[in-house]
Structures are given as structure tokens and as C-alpha cells.
A and B are shown apart, each in its own frame.
Chain A
Amino acid sequence: MDLSHVVQLVIQGILSGGVYGLIAVGLSLIFGVMGIINFAHGQMMVMGMYVSYWIFVLLGIDPYLSLAAVAAAIFVLGYFIQASVVNRILDYPEAMQVLPLVAVGLVLENTALLLWGPDHRSPQTALSLETTWIGPIMIDDSRLIAFALAILITVAIFVFLKKTDTGKRIRAASDNRMGALLVGINVNRINNAAFGLGAAATGAAGALLLPLMPVSPNMGHDFTLTAFIVVILGGMGNLMGALVGGLILGVAESTSTLFLPATLKQVVSFSILIVIMLFRPQGLFGGKK
């Protein structure tokens, strides 16, 4: 086994992990505030990819430049889903909260099928083939940019929640819904904003992934599951935990190909999930129970 091959895999794992982290941050935020698991998360990411694809194909604007617009579009989608569906089911038993969101996921997936058809689409963007070489080690530029932006967005969300008034309201609503209501916070609106923000993060992740992989309507489930594992790994509701969880999962999946057939990649991620559930159910960094 040659050392540069190992280094290569670790780097690729870290870079992919950053994007996993960003997808999971959205899921973690939504869970942290509402205590709801967004089973339509992957499909929202795919919507982000398609919006970004559309902007690229119709207007010729590179996915990195349209990032803010894509995030805004998916924010609106998330806000709408929260206002129309999720706010109504917040007090339901957990098992009953799952189904409406799975349904939302199916609606999104089939909307994509209707609008863009079943084909795999992968337009070649300006940077999608660019690479940087350090000796024998290749660094994929679009992966590196995706990683850097993912970290940046996560930090920005973190600062937003800590420093701004709206961020503080979101945290208050997350901490104690009744208390927040009593001090005059419009909790429903705050929930809408929080869901929208979580959705925007995953939508942005989608845009960052567009140069890296072909988009097709049915790829959402895989990413919902990945985000799920990452969130459990880092601790439900813990944003920095989600980011670190993403990095760990990325590296584990990537380096597993050294020892295992690639068909067992998913076995690696789910084994991690089982181990964490058994020995540290609150996640590596703790979180909401």
C-alpha cells in the first residue's frame, strides 16, 4: 500500500466530509429548534442542485456564483413547508411527525421527475475538471471550494445564531418554547425562519455538489441518510458536532476502500452509526436527547 494513495484518500475524505457536514448542519438546526427530523432533507438538497443546474444552463451563471440565489430559493421552499405542514404537526407523537415529512420528500422527488425527467444531468462547469497537484497528491479544486464554502457557511450560521437578535430568538425557541412564547416571541414565525435556514444550508450544499456529481431526481434518500448518520455522530442539535461528524464520516468512507470492497462503503457508515448508538447515544459532542 503506497503512502501517497492513503494521503490522497484522507484528503478526499476530508473534502467530501465538509459538504456532508453542511448538509447535516441544516438537519441538525431543524432538529435542534423544532425537535423534528426532516425526512425530506435530501430531496431539498436535490432541489438546490436542480435550481443551481437551471440557473447554470439557462443563464450560464456558475454554481458558485449563484450560491446565494439557490440558498434563498430553498429558504423560501423550507419556510413554506414549515408554515404549511410542519407547524401543524409539532405537537404530534414522533411517529406521526415522520410521515408528513416523508410525504413532502416524495412530493419534491416527483416534482423534480416531472420538471426535469429521470435523466442524470451533469453539465460541465468552469471548474469541474480543475485540479491542483502537490507532488503526487491531487486536490480537486471544486471539492476544495465546496469544502471551504461549506465551513464558511457553517461558521456563518453559528455566528448568526449566537450574535443576532433573530438568532437569539431561534435559540430561545429551541431552548424553551413556552418561555419564548411568554416573553413575546412569535414562535411560529421563528420556526419558519429556522426551517428555512436549515433548508437553505442543504440547498447551498446541493449547489456546491453540482460540479461534482450528476443530479437525478431519486438521489435524495441517500443524502437524507448520510445527513442522519452525521447528525447522530456529532450529537443531535449540535452544529459544530455535525461538521466534525461530516469530516469523520467522509474520511471513514474514503479510506475504507483501502481494506474493503467499495460495495461495502455503506456498511462502514452504518456500522459507525450502530457503534455510536450503542456506546454514545448522545453523539460525540453531546446534544439534545
Chain B
Amino acid sequence: MGKKKIKDKRLDRRTFLKVTGAAGVGVAASTFGVPLLLRAAPEPIRIGSVQPATGPLAVIGVGQRRGNQLAVDYINANGGIKSMGGAKLELLLGDSESKPEVGRSEADRLIREGAVVMTGPFQSGVALAISTLCEQRQVPFVMDVAALDKITAKGHKYTFRVFITVTGLLNGAVKYLKMVTETKKAMPKRAVVTNTADAFGKGMSGGFIKFLKKSGLPIEIVDRVQYPLGIHDLSAEVSRIKAAKPDILFPVSRPGDGIILTRELYKQRVELMGIYGPGSPGWYEPDVIKDLGKLIYYVMINVPWINPNSKVYQQANAAFLKAYKKYLDTNSAYAYTGVLVIADALERAGSTDPDKIVAALKKTHFANHPVVGGPVVFDEKGDNTGALTALIQVQPDPDLLKRVKIVAPKQFAQSDEIVFPAPQLWKR
């Protein structure tokens, strides 16, 4: 798991002696009038990263860490923070174990070890805990991924978010649905919402139903089928979906159930105009694309996404691929963006003073990032006004990895064509 690259940076005796020794020499050198050039290089600037590196979200957490680290390496390779004498960045690692209370104590430890800015933490629950802590300790907290609206609703001065909010996500889902149905002049009338019965699944699908009603689209939700997380068989659920006779399906899934659902829809010959995911995993992972083959074609998902056309993404992806033999996915790309935004603020602040960093963050206008969206600009709550979702559609392509295509917004699109209504699953 890349252990050589990412080490736990607890301060041990040897490092302590080295650092203090070096500092001592530096102090001595400066007091005894040794020429400036011989002084020790500027102290590294420490960024604390708390991610769910173990526990059920470990796959994502490790990816997030790697995203953070890759951006730190990039900044350091390009001369560090120039306004601070080329000071290098150093990433301190914390592991939330996918639990809020652990996330908080890990963040606390990193701050004690000298982190001047915090980033992370993927889960909203952990973000709430760290946000409160950072407010107490007066340490700026730039969240790379965490979506719950209420994290930034408390008016915390030190909390900023690069990721999109749940409201932003749902707005995107309805906006793109409107766009697709209007441009293709095909309006589904009956819809079934399916979701896993965990906090995310219930919250996301419940929110989507509300937003859809407010949107004025003439789509009636005729049934909502909820099933437990980690289900192995959806045949009875799909029979129920079929009995509801929907025109379109809005699934909120988790990795694993997308495959069962699609195959069962095929077997039971459920006639649909298409499958439109308001925003959930289970549809765009390379394994899913490979296992489902033709059946996954034309599925549309509204999701925060990478911007594969950007130079930053291409460069970061190449580095990521080289270091970890995996493609830079959305989450890791947001983790990468988080550190770039911090480095940009540090550059303009020219200091590690928390209030100067916050002042710089408030003036952020950062366009050179690897994800779909406008320049990162923080509003008064600390939310990124440039954050956007993309609409992706799986389209036929001989190369498995190129099947997921951005179809909206226009300026990021990889394919001009949106296929809707889609051919029935068994007629492909």
C-alpha cells in the first residue's frame, strides 16, 4: 500500500535530535554572523491530513492520502512556497479509521506536531468534528472531500471546503435531468427511486425526491425501493420495480449493487427509457464497467468528476499512475486540489500565521485544478462557489477506460452526444 512513500510522521527521538540539532546549528550560525547562505533551509510548512486510511473506507482513504501527498511532492519539486524562501511542504498523516472521534483526536495530534493547515477528511461526520477543533485551535481547515451542508453552516471562520455541498450535488442532478429531457424531447412520466438503506442512501435519495418535486418536472415517483446495504440478491426488488411500470430509474447505490440491479433488470426485461443516478458510486468504477459490458452503456450519473482535458489532471494522473499504478479518480483528484489550494494561499499569505492564511484563503481565485468546475472561490461560509458536478454517461468505446464520458457541462464535455432514451438492455 505504498508504505515506503507514506510514513507515519510521529516525532521519534532521532528526528527530534536531528531537527533540534539542525535548528541549534542554524541559530548558532546566525548569531555568530556566519554568511546568510550557510544558514539552514527554511523550516518546512506542515500540513495535517486526516483521512480514513483504515476501516471500511480504507480504499478511498488511502487514495485521498496519495492525492494529498502527490500535490505536496509537486509543489516541493517546483520550488516550494516561494514567498517564504522556498519553504518545503510536509504532509503529516492522521488516520480517522472511518470514525469521527478518532478523526478528531488524530487532527489534535497533528496540530500539536506542528500542522499549520489541516485537510481531509472524506466523511462529513469526521469533518464536523475537525471543523470544531480547528475553530478552537485557530488552525485553518481546508476540506478536500466532505459534502454535508451543515459543516459550513456553523459560521466557523477557519473552515473552507473545496468539494461540492449536498445541495450543490442535488441541484446538479435536477439541472442535468431537465437539460437531458428537454434537449432530447423525451420526458419520462413514471419513475422509481431505489436506494441502499444506509445514511448516505436514504439522505441522498430523500433529498433528490424533494428537489425533483420542487423542480416542476412532470415526473411522478411511483415507488421507492429501499434495500439493505450489502444485499446479494435483488430479484424480488426488481420484480417490484417492474410491477410499478416506471419509465426511468433513479438509483442511489453503493459499490456492488449496481451490477446486481442492472443484470436483474435485464433478466426480468424491465422496459426503461434509461437509468439516471442522482449521484452515487457503483456505476463508473473500472471493475463495474468491465463486468457489465454492454449492459452499463448509456447509464447517466450526476457526480463530481475529474477534468481529463486539463493539463493539471494529465500531469497529476501520469505521476499518480507511475507512483501507485492506479488512475487518479475523483476523490484523489479533489485531495490533490485541496493541497494546491492551500499552497496557493500560503504563497499569497507569505506566512504561517493562521489569520493571514485565512485572509489569503478568502481571496482565493484558483483555476488551475484537475476537476470539473470553475475557479475555486470561497463564499462567506467557506464553500467553493466554483464547485460543479458533471453529468457522465457510459458510452461504447473499444477502450474500457474511455467508456465513461463527460456529456455536460459543455465546456468539459468529452462527447457531444447524449443517448436518451437508451435502447432496452436486451436489445443491445
Asked if A and B are interacting partners, one says yes
Contact of A263 among B228, B266, B267, B268 (CB under 8 A): B228
Interface footprint category on B? 20 to 34
Chain B residues with CB under 8 A of A143: 235
Contact partners of A257 in chain B: CB under 8 A = 236-237, 239-240
Task: Decide if A16 touches B235 in the complex (CB within 8 Å).
Answer: yes
| B256 pairs with A216, CB closer than 8 A | yes
In the bound complex, CA of A256 to CA of B320 (Å): 48
Question: What is the minimal beta-carbon distance from A6 to any residue of chain B, in angstroms?
Answer: 9
B236 touching A254, Cβ below 8 Å: yes
Contact (Cβ within 8 A) A262 B227 = yes
Residue of B nearest to A258 (CB): B240
- Structural contact, A9 and B228, CB atoms closer than 8 A: no
Residue B260 interfacial (CB < 8 Å): yes
A129 touches B267 (CB 8 A): yes
Q: Is B5 an interface residue when CB atoms closer than 8 A count as contact?
A: no
* A35 lies within 8 A of chain B by Cβ: no
How far, in whole Å, are A257 and B244 apart by their CA atoms in the complex?
13
Q: Are A266 and B236 in contact (CB under 8 A)?
A: no
Cβ of A98 under 8 Å from chain B? no
A contact residues around B230 at 8 Å (CB): 218-219, 222
Contact of A128 among B237, B263, B287 (CB under 8 A): B263
Partner of B259, one of A8, A138, A214: A214
CA distance A219 to B256 in the complex (A): 11
On chain A, the number of residues with a Cβ less than 8 Å from chain B's Cβ atoms is: 40
Other A-B contacts than A9-B239, A219-B232, 6 sampled, CB-CB below 8 A, are: A214-B256, A214-B260, A219-B230, A262-B225, A265-B236, A266-B228
Complex Cα distance, B233 from A209, in Å, reads: 10
A124 at the interface (CB under 8 A from B): yes
Task: Give the complex CA separation of A162 and B358 in angstroms.
Answer: 79
* Residue B269 is within 8 A (CB to CB) of chain A in the complex: yes
Do the beta carbons of A129 and B226 come within 8 Å of each other?
Answer: no
B417 within 8 A of A: no
Q: Mark A260-284, 1 if CB is under 8 A from B, else 0.
A: 0111011000000000000000000
Closest chain B residue to A141 by CB distance? Answer: B267
Is residue B312 contacting chain A, with contact meaning CB distance below 8 A? no
Among A16, A119, A123, A219, the one with the most B-chain Cβ atoms within 10 Å of its Cβ is A119
CB distance from A206 to the nearest CB of B (A): 12
In the complex, the chain A residue whose C-beta lies closest to that of B285 is A119
A116 to chain B, nearest CB (A): 11
Is B291 among interface residues, defined by CB-CB distance under 8 A? yes
Give A30 Cβ to nearest chain B Cβ, in Å.
Answer: 23
Q: Report the separation of the CA atoms of residues A8 and B238 in the bound assembly, to the nearest whole angstrom.
A: 11
Q: Counting CB contacts under 8 A, is B293 at the interface? A: yes
The smallest beta-carbon distance between B335 and chain A, in angstroms, is 19
In A118-176, which residues have CB < 8 Å from any B CB? 118-124, 128-129, 131, 138, 140, 143
**Which residues of chain B are within 8 angstroms of A214 by Cβ–Cβ distance?**
256, 259-260, 291
Which residues on the A side are within 8 Å of B21 (C-beta)? none
Partner of B236, one of A9, A118, A213: A9
Contact A8 B287 (CB under 8 A): no
Q: Which residue of B lies closest to A19 (CB)?
A: B233
Q: Is A73 an interface residue (CB 8 A)?
A: no
Q: Once the chains are docked, how many angstroms separate the CA of A12 from the CA of B268?
A: 11
B243 within 8 A of A: yes
Q: What string of 1s and 0s marks CB contacts (under 8 Å) between A1-35 and chain B?
A: 11001001100110010000000000000000000
Inter-chain contacts of A262 with B (CB < 8 A):
225-228, 231, 236-237, 240
A212 within 8 A of B: yes
In the assembled complex, which residues on chain B have CB atoms less than 8 Å from the CB atom of A213? 232-233, 260
Distance in angstroms from A46 CB to nearest chain B CB is 11
Contact of B267 with A261 in the complex, beta carbons under 8 Å: no
Candidates B235, B259, B285, B291; contact of A12 at CB < 8 Å: B235
A254 to B240, CA, bound (A): 10
The closest CB in chain B to the CB of A13 belongs to B236
Q: Give the contacting residue for A5; candidates B233, B239, B263, B267; CB below 8 A.
A: B239
B255 within 8 A of A: yes
A208, B155: Cα distance in complex, Å:
56
Whether a CB of chain B sits under 8 angstroms from the CB of A253 is yes
Q: Which residues of A contact B400 (CB under 8 A)?
A: none
Q: How far is the CB of A189 from chain B (nearest CB, A)?
A: 36
User: Mind listing 12 A-B residue pairs with CB under 8 Å?
Assistant: A5-B239, A5-B242, A119-B285, A119-B287, A120-B256, A129-B267, A213-B260, A214-B260, A222-B232, A253-B236, A258-B240, A262-B237
Interfacial chain B residues near A123, Cβ < 8 Å: 291
Q: What residue of chain A has the Cβ atom nearest to residue B225's Cβ?
A: A262
What is the bound-complex CA distance between A263 and B201, given in angstroms? 12
Q: Decide: B291 and A122 in contact? CB cutoff 8 A.
A: yes
| B197 and A263 within 8 A (CB) | yes
Structural contact, B267 and A121, CB atoms closer than 8 A: no
CB distance from B284 to the nearest CB of A (A): 14
* Cα A223 to Cα B59 with chains together (Å): 25
Residue among A9, A120, A131, A266 with the highest chain B CB neighbour number at 10 A: A120
| Cβ contacts B77-119/A at 8 Å (1 or 0 each) | 0000000000000000000000000000000000000000000
Chain B residues within an 8 Å CB radius of A118: 58-59
Q: Taking CB as reference atom, which chain B residue is nearest A119?
A: B287
B269 touches A120 (CB 8 A): no
B225, A8: Cβ atoms under 8 Å? no
- Nearest B residue to A221 via CB reads B230
For A140, the closest partner residue in chain B by CB is B267
| Residue pair A124, B237 in contact (C-beta under 8 Å) | no
Chain A contacts with B in 80-139, Cβ cutoff 8 A:
118-124, 128-129, 131, 138
Q: Closest approach, in angstroms, between the C-beta of A63 and any C-beta of chain B?
A: 15
CB of A3, distance to nearest CB on chain B (Å): 11
Contact A254 B225 (CB under 8 A): no
Interface string of B260-294 (1 = CB under 8 A from A): 10010011110000000000000001010001110
> Of residues 183 to 229 in A, which have CB atoms within 8 Å of B's CB atoms?
209, 212-214, 216, 218-219, 222
Name the distance in Å between B221's Cβ and chain A's nearest Cβ.
15
Rounded to whole angstroms, the CA-CA distance of A216 and B229 in the bound complex is 13
Min CB–CB distance A265 → chain B (angstroms): 7
Which A residues are in CB contact (< 8 Å) with B233? 16, 212-213
